[in-house]
């Protein structure tokens, strides 16, 4: 029996456990993990068992609530000291995703500003609110996006920004799911997204599971598919957006954006408004995570496929310049890069 019932992360408040789908096992195995171990929580995010900017943020909030409620003490000074350590340390495991920092800061502020007797309950309630809010936000992204897709029949997406990247619905795939609810079936071309194949393993899995017409393509096929007129729009998610609209997303996204611009195809970034980082002037200030080379040379192969002495550069993200982006689809509406400054005070 499933605790999550279709969601990606959850909070078992009865047993004070964080719950997540281990996405490294998909699509061959579906497993829900229940944990109150900080080491296991940190590892889950670091090793991409939980991934996707919205899901990482919500999961971090759940983890903080679980760990603080696990403490035997009710002394505020001791609790805040532990809370400070957890939030500062946890933020280091995935530095590019702004949602992680956002959620941890909200949890820390909630704890710091709570009365001693209410800290644990307040953190638990805030984590539960994060879950509900993420579902509502993704639903709105889907509704705004579905409106833009009314005259479109086929889209391309890169990496995974569906329900597995959030609690439910997702970001880039939310418009597809909402459109289907409205009777509009849209065909999806999914880039496999190397080196971790999150498009092949995760996007294909969840779209096929939802009955969406899905075609998996190699990353280097995107240009050929666009040239044949098979793509009406591109939908991607993202992990951080600077004040000028420069956007960090899974490695390879910027190449797709360049192709879309060349072929005159609208390129939409779907994201919660919280993904804007107004402290950064442009994309050059976004920290880009670099992961171990084994993901390139060894993963998915029966034996190592590259020479032992070869060097690797395994960047997890790249930055798409604002000039290549048609619009951002958020829960607050559709925002063009040139309009971002108007929303900075919201």
Q: Looking at the domain assignment, is residue 2 inside a domain? A: no
Q: Are residues 122 and 174 in the same domain?
A: no
Q: Looking at the domain assignment, is residue 287 inside a domain? A: yes
What is the pTM (predicted TM-score) of this model?
0.92
- What's 119's domain CATH number? 1.20.120.420
Q: Are residues 46 and 173 in the same domain?
A: no
Structure tokens at 8: 């990606």
Residues with active-site annotation: 239
pLDDT digits (tens, 9 = 90+) for 262-296: 999 999 999 999 899 999 999 999 999 999 999 99
Mutual orientation of helices 76-90 and 98-112 as an angle, nearest 10°?
170
Q: Looking at the domain assignment, is residue 3 inside a domain? A: no
Q: Looking at the domain assignment, is residue 226 inside a domain? A: yes
Q: What is the pLDDT of residue 47?
A: 94
Q: Are residues 113 and 149 in the same domain?
A: no
Q: Given 109, 135, 161, which residue is the final one in a domain? A: 135
Percent of the chain with pLDDT over 90: 95
The H-or-E segment that residue 113 falls in is: none
- What's 231's domain CATH number? 3.40.50.10470
Q: Are residues 179 and 299 in the same domain?
A: yes
Q: Are residues 161 and 50 in the same domain?
A: no
Q: Looking at the domain assignment, is residue 333 inside a domain? A: yes
Say yes or no to pLDDT of 4 above 70. yes
Domain that holds residue 202: 145-343
Q: Are residues 232 and 98 in the same domain?
A: no
Q: What is the pLDDT of residue 345?
A: 76
Q: Are residues 114 and 193 in the same domain?
A: no
Q: Is 183 exposed, middle or buried (0-12, 13-18, 19+ CB in 10 A)?
A: exposed
Q: Are residues 170 and 310 in the same domain?
A: yes
Number of domains, the chain = 2
Kindly list the distances between the CA atom of residue 312 and the CA atoms of 7, 195, 251, 295, in Å, as whole numbers in the listed order.
35, 12, 14, 10
Q: Given 135, 169, 193, which residue is the final one in a domain? A: 135
Q: Looking at the domain assignment, is residue 248 inside a domain? A: yes
Q: Given 116, 135, 154, which residue is the final one in a domain? A: 135
Other beta carbons within 10 angstroms of residue 313's beta carbon come to 7
Q: Are residues 190 and 128 in the same domain?
A: no
Q: Are residues 73 and 184 in the same domain?
A: no
Q: Looking at the domain assignment, is residue 46 inside a domain? A: yes
Q: How many Å separate Cα 309 from the centre of its chain?
A: 34
Q: Are residues 307 and 250 in the same domain?
A: yes
pLDDT digits (tens, 9 = 90+) for 77-96: 999 999 999 999 999 999 88
pLDDT digits (tens, 9 = 90+) for 301-333: 999 999 999 999 999 999 999 999 999 999 999
Q: Report residue 5's pLDDT band, with 50, 70 and 90 as the boundaries.
A: very high
Say yes or no to pLDDT of 196 above 70. yes
Q: Are residues 130 and 152 in the same domain?
A: no
For residues 53 and 160, what is the distance between their CA atoms, to the nearest angstrom? 10
Q: Looking at the domain assignment, is residue 221 inside a domain? A: yes
Kindly list the distances between the CA atom of residue 93 and the CA atoms of 1, 9, 90, 339, in Å, as whole numbers in the listed order.
31, 18, 6, 32
């Amino acid at each position: 029996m499933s605790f999550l019932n279709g969601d990606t992360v959850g909070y078992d408040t009865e047993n004070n456990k964080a719950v997540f789908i281990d996405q490294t096992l998909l699509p061959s195995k579906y497993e829900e993990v229940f944990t109150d171990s900080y080491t296991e929580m940190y590892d889950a995010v670091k090793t991409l068992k939980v991934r996707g900017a919205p899901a990482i943020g919500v999961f971090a909030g759940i983890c903080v609530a679980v760990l603080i409620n696990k403490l035997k003490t009710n002394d505020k000074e001791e609790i805040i000291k532990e809370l400070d350590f957890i939030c500062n340390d946890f933020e280091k495991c995935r530095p590019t995703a702004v949602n992680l920092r956002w959620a941890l800061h909200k949890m820390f502020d909630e704890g710091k500003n709570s009365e001693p007797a209410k800290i644990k309950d307040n953190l638990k309630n805030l984590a539960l609110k994060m879950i509900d809010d993420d579902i509502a936000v993704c639903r709105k992204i889907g509704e705004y996006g579905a409106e833009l897709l009314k005259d479109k029949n086929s889209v391309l997406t890169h990496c995974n920004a569906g329900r597995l990247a959030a609690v439910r619905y997702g970001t880039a795939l939310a418009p597809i799911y909402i459109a289907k609810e409205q009777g509009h079936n849209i065909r999806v071309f999914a880039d496999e997204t190397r080196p971790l194949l999150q498009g092949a393993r995760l996007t294909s899995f969840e779209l096929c599971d939802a009955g969406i017409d899905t075609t998996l393509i190699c990353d280097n096929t995107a240009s050929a598919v666009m040239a044949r007129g098979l793509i009406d729009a591109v939908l991607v998610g993202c992990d951080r957006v600077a004040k000028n609209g420069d956007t960090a997303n899974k490695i390879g996204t910027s190449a797709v954006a360049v192709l879309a611009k060349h072929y005159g195809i609208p390129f939409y970034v779907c994201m919660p408004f919280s993904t804007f980082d107004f402290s950064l002037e442009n994309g050059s200030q976004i920290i880009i995570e670099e992961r171990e080379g084994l993901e390139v040379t060894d993963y998915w192969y029966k034996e190592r496929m590259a020479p032992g002495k070869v060097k690797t550069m395994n960047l997890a993200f790249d930055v798409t310049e604002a000039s290549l982006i048609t619009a951002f689809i958020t829960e607050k509406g559709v925002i063009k890069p040139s309009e971002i400054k108007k929303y900075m005070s919201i």
